[in-house]
Structure 1
Amino acid sequence: MKAGIGDRKMSSQQRARDKSARAGNLPEQIFLWEILIRLPPKDLNRCRAVSRAWRRAVSARDFLLAHHRRQPSLPLINRRSIIGEPRWSNIAALDHRAAQATQQIQPVARLDGSNVSVKASCDGLLILAEGGLRPTPLEARCSVCNPATRQIRHLSSQLKGHAVLGLYRHQPTSEYRLLLRRLCSPISMQVFELDHHHMPPRRVECTREVLCYPLTSSAPLLLRGNLHWTWHTLPLPFGQTETNKTKTILVFDTTAESFRQMPSPPDVHAADLFDMDGVLGMYSWDNGDRSTVRIWVMQDYESQVWSPKCSVECWKESLVPEIPLTQEQRNLVMAMYEEGDVRLLLASEGSLLCVDSQGKLLRSSRDDGHSLSISKHFLKQSLVSYGFFPELRVGINAWPFI
């Protein structure tokens, strides 16, 4: 009987400690949904050590999903050391909101003495391909990782002989899946389910015309439940030449898991796609002026009609006279949509420049000792738990996180 009373006393004391730890006894609605939900993922992780009550509160799935939705979508940058031995490469996220310029380029993953690249991204997950200095799709080792939770699963054996085209969440099942292209004959498109990673990829029906497209050299855009690729990243179908190539956008419906095509604007050159707050946007170099980027917008996704939005003269000596520009560096550009306007992110040697739709320089970041390029993938961090990762154990999930 005394033991039972003691247990109740200990329980009441623990509840009192948990209650007092709740930031001055603020109401849970304010404490959890107005304060903790605004913390960066790293700081929110530290809050789990405060008390059991805090750990339970910030580990609930509905809270973590809401926290993920509040995170910024940050462009990923490829950083490669150009001084020192051994040279290394890593992936970093660009966050211009950081108070100090030195904190704007935030390392995400690093591989010493090897080459790493992001092949796909979705909901805080990254698909990494890691190999030698010049890995081929047959040799590259693929992994799925979550930088926010420092979890990783290697997929080398399952994905051998395949190239990753995209990562998406299958809405009917809530499963995360990879769209693959099989490299050996017969050529085919396949889907690999991360939640059933022990199973081999399964084939997806598609037309011969789709199979003629090449592997994409830029990231697909996931918008309105569809993956989109621009025509210039795809190989020419059989029998076509550059003069009569059909300029279309390849679309993969992630719910039906089927392919279709959409038209692109006329007279585009080296085009890429971007998300304008739920609206499909496209940017490309002007055919006659290699220093100007043209922007189109598809206001009505169903009618698939494009309209020109603006032209941005971005590479001007008067704009950034302190940075030497070469013709090769002018290809390092990506369009984004921030604060209701189009922004262009430009990479030049060890600098990253952000200009607005008028060509005005808004901000810049410098990373001396590194060569920078834009991966055209984004990271929106998430602390949500995914079942396809192995249990956290010491030494298992250290690579490749910094």
Structure 2
Amino acid sequence: MGMSSCQKITIDVFIQLKDEQERADALIDGSKPIKISLPTDGSGPNARKKEEGFLLIAGLISPPYPDRPCLPVKSRRRRREQSTVATPPEIAARARSRRAISMPGSSGVTAFDDLPEWLVVDEILVRLPPKDVLRCRAVRKSWRSGTSTDAFILGHHRRQPSLPIIQHKLGICRVVGGSNDLKIRPVIRYDGSFTKFQLQAACDGLLIVSQQANFFICNPATLKCASLPRPPLRPRFSFIDVVGFYRHPTSGEHRILWVSYTKPIRIYETFQLPDYFILAVGSSQPRCIQWPTVSKQKYFPATRSTDCPPVHHRGSLHWLMGLNIVVFDTVAETFRQMSRPTQLGDMVSLLDMGEALALCHVAPDCATLDVWVLQDYDAGTWGFHYRIDLLGMEASPPINWMFQSIPRMALINERELLIQRHIHHLLHCDIDGVFLGNVESEERLSCWTLTRHCLQESMISLPLFETQEEEAVNQEPPFSIVL
């Protein structure tokens, strides 16, 4: 079957995917009757050709964003009118009989089982949200095996949107929804403890959260969580923090770059240079990383990921440090520096624009944001890209810019961005400075912050998850996953 005919598959194929999933759920829990769409003869509303093709598939199980249904309301109403309640014996009987479906451009009918397995896995399941793919694994063994390969998991992860993360005192949230209706929804809720929590890092859908000296790594999409080993602390008044979190390009393992440092208690005490360690997730044997030092140097080559997460680009981690950019090569495991436009001053943040690095410069009046792009990475050539004038933005309702703080900006895609200038206010606009709306929270949040972390969901699992579950040594995390 060529790709041209694959694009002509009718909506019935995808509805049957829904039914297969519901049958599996009902057989697992036989006490719950479910609704199943009655067979059709190839005519009627379900047989209409959908020009959008595979882009509508995800909506037949659950839309990627609840506020953006992939099917019109009328289509969903017709499907409900064609539904009846089936008992578990009837479900099992229907599961044994294969329903015929029609294919546009063909003279007869074909069965769902006639679809190539690669088509279902590589063109349909790969486009669903992680939660729906995990449910579909219970439908057929072939789907479970096909969606469990490293190639599928990484390919599926690359298709997921990268969503800005918001942190507040009670947990971690993310921004979701359509271009005209963004919402803030929770991902993790902290317990009632007064101990401070911190989001340390995010990579490949995995989050690292700390509470004092305890570190945890979790995958919100799979609800997996484990306590995280860390390098030992120095003597006296010392600290340890995550500096970077990345997937090693060669081995594929996830690694953490840690920093261990001591804060002088008295002003006359000698400043001690920090130590940097690399620790593979799950390992307890850290490796110390050497970095070039200058006599009497009193700054770190890389800062904490909590405050300023590095930008992953071209296999390296990038931090904005002073008037330079510090680069850590994840393969050679070495630090170096690269230049940036010094005329932008120090009110600058580093952004990831996908294909290039970018700098966001905030004017002294905190009302203008200029974005510069690294046009040539090897030559270090930067160029002005666009400007956002907050005072000239026509917002509805009008924005009161009095008593605002330094704006924080996060990119949604190449055309849209988020800007926060108040602890209770997040606006949505495009790169032309056109106001698109205010982002509201579904919960009453206080003192929240738009971080520079992003969550791109995945079904990636770690050996550490399974190891701690088998050995029953998993420390109970002081938070709950509500994604």
Pairing 1:357–2:431 present: yes
- Using the TM superposition, give the Cα deviation of residue 43 of structure 1 relative to its aligned residue in structure 2, in angstroms: 1.3
Counterpart CA distance in 1 for 2:133 and 2:173 is 20
Shift of 1:396: 7.0
**2:164 pairs with one of 62, 71, 75:** 75
Structure 1's consecutive aligned runs of 4 or more residues displaced over 6 angstroms after TM superposition are: 16-19, 393-398
* Aligned positions of 1:106-255 closer than 5 A: 106-113=185-192, 114-130=195-211, 139-155=212-228, 158=231, 160=233, 161-184=239-262, 186-199=272-285, 201-209=286-294, 212-213=299-300, 215-216=303-304, 217-232=307-322, 247-255=323-331
How many pairs does the alignment contain?
A: 352
Consecutive unaligned residues of structure 2, counting only runs of 5 or more, are 1-91, 101-110, 234-238, 263-270
Residues 284 and 293 in structure 1, CA contact (< 8 A), matched pair in contact too: yes
How far residue 273 of structure 1 moved from its aligned partner, in angstroms, is 1.1
In structure 1, stretches of 5+ residues that fail to align are 1-13, 81-88, 131-138, 233-246
Any conservation in 2 of the 1:350–1:366 contact (CA below 8 Å)? Answer: no
- Structure 2 counterparts to residues 1-400 of structure 1, below 5 A: 24-25=112-113, 26-80=115-169, 89-97=170-178, 104-113=183-192, 114-130=195-211, 139-155=212-228, 158=231, 160=233, 161-184=239-262, 186-199=272-285, 201-209=286-294, 212-213=299-300, 215-216=303-304, 217-232=307-322, 247-268=323-344, 269-287=346-364, 289-315=365-391, 318-327=394-403, 329-336=404-411, 338=413, 340-341=414-415, 343-346=417-420, 348-367=422-441, 369-371=444-446, 372-391=448-467, 392=469, 399-400=479-480
Q: Which amino acid aligns with 2:439?
A: S
The 8 Å contact of residues 347 and 373 in structure 1, kept in 2 or not, is answered as no
Name the CA distance, whole Å, in 1 between partners of 2:309 and 2:250.
Answer: 24
Name the TM-score, length of structure 2 as normaliser: 0.66
Contact 1:176 1:195 in 2 (8 A): yes
Deviation at residue 252 of structure 1 after TM alignment: 0.8
Distance 2:98 2:258 in 1: 52
Q: Deviations over 1:270-295 (max 9, x none)?
A: 211112222111102013x3200111
Amino acid corresponding to residue 356 of structure 1 in structure 2: D
Q: Post-superposition shift, 1:267?
A: 2.0
Q: Is the 8 A contact 1:76 1:377 kept in 2?
A: yes
User: 1:122, CA displacement in angstroms?
Assistant: 1.3
Contact residue 229 and residue 282 of structure 2 kept, 8 A: no
| Pairwise CA RMSD | 3.1
Within 2, Cα distance between the matches of 1:202 and 1:281?
31
- Given that 2:241 and 2:260 are in contact with CA atoms closer than 8 Å, whether structure 1 keeps it comes out as yes
Aligned AA (1:352) = L
Secondary structure of 1:59's match?
A: coil
8 Å CA contact 1:18–1:53 kept in 2: the answer is no
Report what 1:6 is aligned to: none
Q: Percent identity?
A: 32
1:374, distance to aligned residue in structure 2 (A): 0.8
Q: Residues of 2 paired with 1:38 and 1:18: CA distance?
A: 27
CA–CA distance in 2 between the matches of 1:363 and 1:326? 19
- Offset, 1:17: 6.2
TM norm structure 1: 0.78
3-state SS of paired residue (1:303): coil
CA–CA separation in structure 2 for the residues paired with 1:352 and 1:166: 27
Q: CA deviation at 1:20?
A: 5.1
- TM-superposed deviation, 1:228: 0.9
The corresponding residue for 1:240 is none
SS in 1 for 2:174: strand
Contact 2:394 2:435 in 1 (8 A): no
Q: Deviations over 1:174-206 (max 9, x none)?
A: 22111111113853332332345222x221111
Answer yes or no: is the 8 Å Cα contact 1:165–1:180 preserved in 2: yes
Question: Structure 1 pair 196/349, CA: closer, same or farther in 2 (3 Å)?
Answer: closer
Q: 1:56 to 1:397 in 2, by over 3 A?
A: farther
Shift of 1:356: 1.4
Secondary structure at the counterpart of residue 389 of structure 1? helix
Deviations 1:70-124 (A, max 9, x none): 11111101134xxxxxxxx1111111338965xx323211112243222211111
